[in-house]
Amino acid sequence: MLRGKVFKFGDNISTDHIIPGRYAHLRSNLPELAKHVMEDADPTFAGRVRQGDFIVAGNNFGLGSSREHAPLVIKMAGVSAILAKSAARIFFRNAINLGLPILVCDTDKISDGDELEIDFQAGAIRDVTNGRMLTFGRIPEIMLRILDEGGLLPYLKKYGDLSL
Amino acid sequence: MGKTLAEKILSVKSNTDARSGDIVIAQVDLVFLQDTTGPLTVRQFQAAGFKKPAASLKAVLFFDHAAPSPAREMADDHAFLRQFAAESGSQAVAVGEGVCHQIVAESLARPGDLVIGADSHTVMAGGLGAFACGMGSTDVAVALGLGKTWLRVPESVRIKLSGRFPAQVYAKDLILHLIGHLGADGATYKSLEFGGDGLADMAIPERLTVANMAIEAGAKAGLFPSDGATADYLAANGRADDYQPLAPDADATYERTIPVGLGQLEPVVARPHTVDNIVPARELKGMKIQQVFIGTCTNGRLEDIAIAAGILKGKRVNHGTRLLVAPASRGILLSALRAGHIQTLVEAGAILLPPGCGPCLGLHQGVLGAGESCLSTANRNFKGRMGHPDAFVYLGSPATAAATALTGEITDPREVI
Ligand code: SF4
C-alpha cells in the first residue's frame, strides 16, 4: 500500500520538462541533476515534493527523448508512483525498469494536493480527499515481474535471463 | 494470414510466428549508445555484471550530442565512454563524425535488422527497412549484454502515399502534416508503415526524415519497405551486399489505413511547444525569428543543405537573424563542400557548425535566450528544448528554414522562389 500527496500536471509532459537537455552535463552527477526535476513544468516541484508523493498527469506523460534520467530523477525525488491517462512508450518501459510504478488510469477527477492510497494487490486507487475509487490498466506479465523485483537489473540477477 | 513489416522482421528475429500483440524475445543485430545517455547505459551494463557486449551483435558508441564537449563534465563523460569502448572492444565513432542516426543509416543498419539505440530517434533506420527502436539506458544495457531484448509486436498503421510532392514541399512537410493529423500520441506503441505508389517519389534521405519523426507521434517504429531506392542508397554507400528486398504481405492486417495525397500537401510548420501543433507556413507570416537552424538527424543531409543553398545563393541572410548550419555527418560536410553548397551558405551569412547534433537539444552551439524564437529543421519543439524555457521553437523543412533566414520571419518557401 502506498500513500502520498498528489502533484498534478497536464498533458504532454515531455522528458524536456522533466529534465531538460541543458542539464545534460550533470547526468553523471545524479544528486545535482535531481535538483532540477520537473523544472520546466513546475520550478517549485523539487522543493515541495516529499517521499512517497505521486505525480498525476494527463495524456502522453514522458514523451520525447529516451533519457532514463527522467524517471530516475523522479524516483530520486521520492515519488512512489506516476499516474497518467496514457504514457509514452519509452518512458513507460524506463520507469518499470527502474522499479518505479507507472499506472494508467483516468486521472481527470484527481486534483492537485489530494491524498491517494494505492493498493497494488487489489489494483485499486483510493482518493482519500474526495472518496473516489479508481482502477488502473493491467501491464504485461513480463513487466509485472520486472516491477515485482524492483527493476530490470534485480530481475536479471534473479532469473539470469529474459523469459516470457 | 499475411504479415506487416513489423511482424515479418520480428518473426525472423524471434524465430516465432510473431503477430501484433505478442510479446517476443528477439535477437538484436546492432546496439548503439550516444554521449548523453551512454554513461548511464554503461553503468547499468557494469552493474548487471556484464563485461563485454554479446558476440552476436555490433556495438557502437557515438560522440555527437555534445561534440566537441562544451563542459568539463561532458568531457569526463566522453573519456569514460572512450575507455569503455576500448575495454569492451566496441566501435567508437569520434567527435566530428556526425549524428549517430545518420552514421547508422550510412554505414551500419541493414534492411531486416533489429536495431536498438539509446536514443529515441533510433526509429530513423526504419527508412531502410530495419526495425529500429529507441530505448532507455537499462534496456539498452541488457540488450548489449544479452544480445537480445523483449518486445511487444506492435499493431501497424498503414500510411498509403500517392502522387508526387509539389514544388517546395518536402518529406518534412509530409511527416509534420501526418503528426498533426495523428496527434503527438496518435501512434503510441504502434508501427507506422509507409507504402503506396507515392514511395516512388521518395529517395532514402527523404524516407529517413519521415521515419525519424515517427516517434513524435509516439510510434515504436516507422517502417519503409526495402526496394530499389534502398538498393541504390546502400550501393552508393559501398554496401551493396547489405541489400535484401523487404515488403509487407498484400493481405497483412493493419489497425487502420491513412491515405495521404502528396500532391495536396503544402509547406507547414509545427508551433511551440508540441510537434502536433501544425499550421501552414503561410499563416505564420510576420512571425519574427532570431535564429534559424538547418541540421540534425531529421534534416541535416546533403539534399537538405542543397535545398537551402539553392534558396540562399547570391543572397544575404536577414540582418538580425542567425543562420546555423550543421551537416549531419562528416561525409555530408565533404560532399556539400565539393558541391559548393557550404561556400554559398557561408557567403550568404551562415555560421557553419561541426557535424553533430549542434543546438538541437539546447546544450551548446546556439542556445536560445528568454523570448527568442528559432525556426529549426529538427524534430522537437518542446518547452526548454533549445535552451531557455521561455524560448520558442518552430519546426519546418530546410526550404522553409532557408526562406525564413532570408526574410527574418516565418516564410513559405514558395514566396521567395
Ligand atoms: S540531432 Fe537532435 S534529435 Fe537527432 S540525435 Fe541529435 S539531439 Fe537527438
- Let me know if B306 is exposed, middle or buried by CB neighbors in 10 A (0-12, 13-18, 19+): middle
pLDDT tens-digit profile of B308-354? 999 999 999 999 999 999 999 999 999 999 999 999 999 999 999 99
Q: Regarding beta strands B91-93 and B58-62, do their DSSP bridges make them parallel or antiparallel, or are they unpaired?
A: parallel
pLDDT tens-digit profile of B353-399? 999 999 999 999 999 999 999 999 999 999 999 999 999 999 999 99
Domain region containing A20: 2-138
Q: Regarding beta strands B131-134 and B114-117, do their DSSP bridges make them parallel or antiparallel, or are they unpaired?
A: parallel
If you ran DSSP here, which 8-state letter would residue B226 be given? Answer: B
Do the Cβ atoms of A123 and A136 come closer than 8 Å? yes
Indicate if B9 and B100 belong to the same structural domain: yes
- Let me know if B259 is exposed, middle or buried by CB neighbors in 10 A (0-12, 13-18, 19+): exposed
If you ran DSSP here, which 8-state letter would residue B110 be given? Answer: -
Indicate if B175 and B54 belong to the same structural domain: yes
Indicate if B295 and B147 belong to the same structural domain: no
Tell me the backbone φ, ψ of residue A109, rounded to 5 degrees.
-90, 0
Predicted confidence (pLDDT) at residue B172 exceeds the cutoff of 90: yes
* B113: nearest Cα among B152, B158, B57: B57
Distance from CA of A117 to the nearest CA of B (A): 28
Ligand 1: which residue has its CA nearest to atom 4? B297
Check CB contact under 8 Å for B384 and A17: yes
Indicate if B256 and B320 belong to the same structural domain: no
Give A-chain residues touching B49 at CB under 8 angstroms.
Answer: 157
pLDDT number for residue A60: 96
Indicate if B385 and B242 belong to the same structural domain: no
Is residue A137 very low, low, confident or very high in pLDDT (cuts 50, 70, 90)? Answer: confident
Helix, strand, coil percent content, chain B, rounded in steps of 5:
40, 20, 40
* B32: nearest Cα among B129, B130, B127: B130
pLDDT number for residue A14: 97
Q: What is the CATH number of the domain that holds B235?
A: 3.30.499.10
Ligand 1 pocket check for B67: Cβ under 6 Å: no
Ligand 1 pocket check for B360: Cβ under 6 Å: yes
Do the Cβ atoms of B333 and B343 come closer than 8 Å? no
Ligand 1 pocket check for B176: Cβ under 6 Å: no
Query: Any chain B CB within 8 A of the CB of A144?
Result: no
H or E, element range at B91: strand B91-93
For ligand 1, what atom is nearest to the CA of residue B100?
Answer: 5
What distance in Å separates the CA atoms of residue B367 and residue B360, rounded to the nearest whole number? Answer: 9
Q: What is the domain count for chain B?
A: 2
**For chain B, what is the largest distance between any 2 Cα atoms, rounded to a whole number of angstroms?**
60
If you ran DSSP here, which 8-state letter would residue B155 be given? Answer: P
In a domain, A154, yes or no: no
pLDDT number for residue B31: 98
For a substitution probing ligand 1, which of B93, B101, B304 has the most ligand atoms within 8 Å of its CB?
Answer: B101
Predicted confidence (pLDDT) at residue B196 exceeds the cutoff of 90: yes
pLDDT tens-digit profile of A46-73? 999 999 999 999 999 999 999 999 999 9
H or E, element range at B175: helix B171-182
Give B-chain residues touching A20 at CB under 8 angstroms.
Answer: 362, 384-385, 389
CB contact set of B148 (below 8 Å; sequence gap of 6+) = A162, B25, B26, B27, B28, B54
pLDDT greater at residue A164 or residue A125:
A125
pLDDT greater at residue A139 or residue A80:
A80
Mutate to test the interface with B, among A15, A23, A25, A85 (most CBs of B within 10 A): A25
In a domain, A159, yes or no: no
pLDDT number for residue B201: 87
pLDDT number for residue A4: 97
Give B-chain residues touching A39 at CB under 8 angstroms.
Answer: 384, 389
Question: pTM score, two decimals?
Answer: 0.97
Domain region containing B390: 268-415
Distance from CA of A67 to the nearest CA of B (A): 6
pLDDT number for residue A121: 82
Check CB contact under 8 Å for B36 and A14: no
Ligand 1: which residue has its CA nearest to atom 6? B357
